[in-house]
Amino acid sequence: MSESLPTDSVGIVTPQTLHFDTPISLACNRTLDQYSLVYETYGTLNAQASNAVLICHALSGHHHAAGFHSSGDRKPGWWDSCIGPGKPIDTNRFFVVSANNLGGCHGSTGPGSNNPETGKPYGPDFPVITVRDWVKSQALLADRLGIQCWSAVVGGSLGGMQALQWSLDYPDRIRHAAVIASTPRLSAQNIAFNEVARQAITSDPEFYDGHYYQHHTLPRRGLMLARMVGHITYLSDASMGEKFGRELRDQAYKFAFDAEFQVESYLRYQGERFSETFDANTYLLMTKALDYFDPAHEYDNDLAKALRKARCEFLVLSFSTDWRFTPARSEELVSAMISARKRVSYAEIDAPWGHDGFLIPTPRYNAVFRAYMDRVAREVGA
Amino acid sequence: MSESLPTDSVGIVTPQTLHFDTPISLACNRTLDQYSLVYETYGTLNAQASNAVLICHALSGHHHAAGFHSSGDRKPGWWDSCIGPGKPIDTNRFFVVSANNLGGCHGSTGPGSNNPETGKPYGPDFPVITVRDWVKSQALLADRLGIQCWSAVVGGSLGGMQALQWSLDYPDRIRHAAVIASTPRLSAQNIAFNEVARQAITSDPEFYDGHYYQHHTLPRRGLMLARMVGHITYLSDASMGEKFGRELRDQAYKFAFDAEFQVESYLRYQGERFSETFDANTYLLMTKALDYFDPAHEYDNDLAKALRKARCEFLVLSFSTDWRFTPARSEELVSAMISARKRVSYAEIDAPWGHDGFLIPTPRYNAVFRAYMDRVAREVGA
């Protein structure tokens, strides 16, 4: 039935899993003795293994970035707009790898996985993971896939942080880093919103200090609240206004506490759906990874100093109405790259959707991204 | 011991209570048969009763706007910076009235008060209150105090909405309305944040559908979360950054879920303190009053049309870094006032503190506010 899929789709894709049994030491000074990573690939690795692109996902993302899991699948992967034949990350030219991060809840080893030492889910005993740990595990994945050097590591938001970290930790294994709708570190306000999300989850009585698996329950309300807060920060005030305004679900005010405005029922629905499909402990881990990310920290808070060891070229993109990671945050990063004498291309994309802009195709976003990736492809002979 | 109080303070003040036993009909089509309002006054009403100023409070505010409750009281009223001898609202000239709103939790009848019909607290059975209802009850309070016409009605945020509503509902009883850090109606994003707060409260298992009084408990966690979210929206990203940055409580990352960054412990502390002093049902009512406020609604969403019936003069102030109710929202209001041929003075105050700017004195804010109120005083012979 793949005939019915869009012609610019990578088509039906099948996730794969690799198991690692060499212990990996983590930034928190703990070790995972063994773990699995689930990933998808799109396109074909060329003979020189020079055309590989790594996609890094954001807070609630996963390995399924493009294509469909079956012919009946109604929704493609989360970045299908950018990955596929003829798309900015052109799968006719690139071999694309997209893995679920360690600590995730979509197949890679995470808090919901069984801890081999106890035979029970890790839960809150899963180590706190950092962006650097993810990059390390992705490098081990690259080894197994025979990829010595990525033509590009690409990501939006928390994914952009991974792309940036790649440039610092494996300067010889990455030619280009695309850091999209991201920031070199969270602001106090960003951390504050994450803390609200964490408090919502951990104060849910169904959370059981993270051991909810054994109690056969889920901290649904807490995760729902966390997602609602997050969702607001992903959208712009204007796009929420455009989408919902002050539209009522019914004609008149009800003077009660049901969802009355469209935006309320939308948020509740999104929150509820998310709370049934995402793992609360993973959510906690992801927010912590965001908070901790700060490559300048160990370089006297001098980002340019941190960037000196990078050898790749950079693409930085920001979105005009993104108030979570504003264009100013990308410009900080770009300034530091310039100070560190790195080659960097920067564009602020004019788009109304706030932080979510990086997921939504627009002509200029598409054109800029495509032009950059075309140059990457030509460089590596793809 | 009043010698030790600041000389520009109204000094020690004593709240007063008025009981009303004529039923008041509310916008929700329900009636309160009897109720009390607690209020404070500062200064002296002149013989013509022409120098009265009404202060309207915001979401978490109350009647105690200025002065101290005792000589040992460490904190003055919430707007002490603007109310007192020689201050913008000069109590040497004005008679200032500040009441706790109906539905409040600081002495006026609210969800925590006993319902005379049942002998138990109203709880969730307390009627949903609107800005218009507050204005109505304030007019009845004015009657009892012998005030036919306010020289000014003044408020910030939700208080500014009340000042605006006064101009529409009692055009002959108000000479000036000062609408500070406010908006003619909430945006979808504003409503969304309120909805998160409400969901946090109502999903707290200690909430018991609002009947927590009978269960001798409080929905502390929910109210704490609500306050944390609110608090973030009251501050600017820059002021949070200035105050907390990414400062850690300890030297190094702990890779755990305790509060690590200063901003986390600050928010937790603020949230916890609030949750012990504020009533959750009142919080719900206040957020609903905010959501519903929309004077243009019954005038084909034409704010200028709604404003035509106003006869007072307006002062509108906004704060440059307020992202909850941005200067653009105040400018909408000012434009509508100009379209409606009203007299309006407008200033955007450059201040770094976000929405909270209206509570924090700065030279320009002080000067503009003082100059306007000086004119009001001279007009009424005060």
How far apart (Å, rounded) are the C-alpha atoms in residues A331 and A346? 8
Phi first, then psi: give them for residue A331, nearest 5 degrees. -65, -35
In order of A283, B29, B189, B210, B292, the CA distances from A261 in angstroms are 28, 20, 11, 21, 10
**Across A70-74, A225-229, A301-305, B34-38, least confident range:** A70-74
**Alpha-carbon span A328 to B117, nearest angstrom:** 58
Which residues, in sequence order, are CB contacts of B117 under 8 Å at separation 6+? none
pLDDT tens digits for range B176-224? 999 999 999 999 999 999 999 999 999 999 999 999 999 999 999 999 9
Residue B277 CB contacts under 8 Å (≥ 6 apart), including other chains: none
Q: Say whether A322 is catalytic.
A: yes
To the nearest 10°, report the CA torsion of A320, A326, A328, A330.
Answer: -100
Question: Confidence band (pLDDT; 50, 70, 90) for B2?
Answer: very low
pLDDT at A156 over 90: yes
Q: Chain B closest CA to A224's CA: distance in Å?
A: 9
Q: Distance between CA A239 and CA B298 in Å, rounded?
A: 25
| Residue linked to tokens 């560190």 | A340
The owner of tokens 């309160």 is: B32
For B113, the 3-state DSSP assignment is coil
**Residues B130-173 pLDDT 10s:** 999 999 999 999 999 999 999 999 999 999 999 999 999 999 99
CA A348 to chain centre: 20
Tokens 């993810």, located at residue = A134
The number of beta carbons lying within 10 Å of the beta carbon of residue A322 is 29
Chain A contact for B320, CB < 8 A?
Answer: no
Q: Average model confidence (pLDDT) for chain A?
A: 96
DSSP-derived letter for residue A261 is B
Residue B235 in contact with partner chain A when CB distance is under 8 A: yes
Q: How many CB atoms within 10 Å of residue B50?
A: 18
In contact, B267 and B231? CB cutoff 8 Å = yes
Integer Rg of chain A from CA = 21
Residues 18-77 of A with CB under 8 A from B: 27-30
pLDDT (0 to 100) of residue B375 = 98
pLDDT band at A135 (very low <50, low <70, confident <90, very high): very high
In this prediction the pTM is 0.96
- Rounded percentage of chain A residues whose pLDDT exceeds 70: 99
- State yes or no: is A57 an active-site residue: no
Give the Å distances, CA to CA, from A251 to A36, A50, A248.
52, 60, 6
Give the number of beta-carbon pairs within 8 Å between A and B: 145
Contact B372, B178 (CB under 8 A): yes
The pLDDT, as a whole number, for residue B1 is 42
Residue A43 tokens read as 């396109």
State the average pLDDT for chain B: 96
SS3 A141: helix
B256 touches chain A (CB under 8 A): yes
Question: Between A1 and A48, whose confidence is greater?
Answer: A48
> Of A103, A160, A118, whose CA–CA distance to A278 is shortest?
A103
pLDDT of residue B256: 87
Percent of chain B with pLDDT over 70: 99
Is the pLDDT confidence value at A28 over 90?
yes
**Using an 8 Å Cβ cutoff, are A382 and A350 in contact?**
no
Q: What does the pLDDT look like over A113-133, one tens digit per residue?
A: 999 999 999 999 999 999 999
* Each residue's pLDDT tens digit, A333-375: 999 999 999 999 999 999 999 999 999 999 999 999 999 999 9
* Chain A residues with CB-CB distance to B28 below 8 A: 253, 255
Q: Is some CB atom of chain B closer than 8 A to the CB atom of A186?
A: yes
**Order of strands across the sheet with B95-99?**
B16-20, B35-42, B95-99, B52-56, B152-156, B176-180, B313-319, B344-349
Amino acid B249: pLDDT: 84
Interior CA angle at A241 toward A253 and B223, to 5°? 65
Integer Cα distance of A180 and B147 in angstroms = 60
pLDDT in tens, A234-250: 999 999 999 998 888 88
pLDDT digits (tens, 9 = 90+) for B320-368: 999 999 999 999 999 999 999 999 999 999 999 999 999 999 999 999 9
Query: Do residues B354 and B321 lie in contact, with contact meaning Cβ atoms separated by under 8 Å?
Result: yes
Q: Does B259 touch chain A (CB under 8 A)?
A: yes
**Cα separation, B326 vs B302, whole angstroms:** 20
pLDDT at A259: 87
Integer Cα distance of A79 and A56 in angstroms: 11
A304 in contact with chain B, both atoms CB, cutoff 8 A: no
Given a cut of 90, is residue B250 above it in pLDDT?
A: no
pLDDT for position A1: 42
Residue A250 has what pLDDT? 81
Nearest 5°: CA angle at A12, between A10 and A13? 85
CB atoms closer than 10 angstroms to residue B114? 12
The residue ranking higher by pLDDT, A250 or B109, is B109
Average pLDDT over residues A303-310: 98
**A195 contacts B225? CB cut-off 8 A:** no
Q: Which residues of A touch B234 (CB under 8 A)?
A: none
Count Cβ atoms below 10 Å from residue B248 Cβ, excluding itself. 14
Q: Are B85 and B92 in contact (CB under 8 A)?
A: yes
Q: Do the chains contact at B196 and A232, CB–CB below 8 Å?
A: yes
Choose, out of A237, A326, A355, the residue to mutate when testing the contact with B (most B CBs < 10 Å): A237
Alpha-carbon distance of A190 to B264, in angstroms, equals: 11
What is the three-class DSSP state of B178? strand
When pLDDT is averaged across residues A95-106 and rounded to a whole number, the result is 98
Question: pLDDT at position A5, please?
Answer: 85
Interface of A with B in 269-288 (CB under 8 A): 271, 284, 288
What pLDDT sits at residue B208? 97
* pLDDT at residue B3, rounded to an integer: 54
Interchain pair B189, A235: CB under 8 A = yes
Question: What's the full length of chain A, in residues?
Answer: 382
Distance CA A328, CA B342 (A): 39
**Structure tokens, A46:** 């060329």
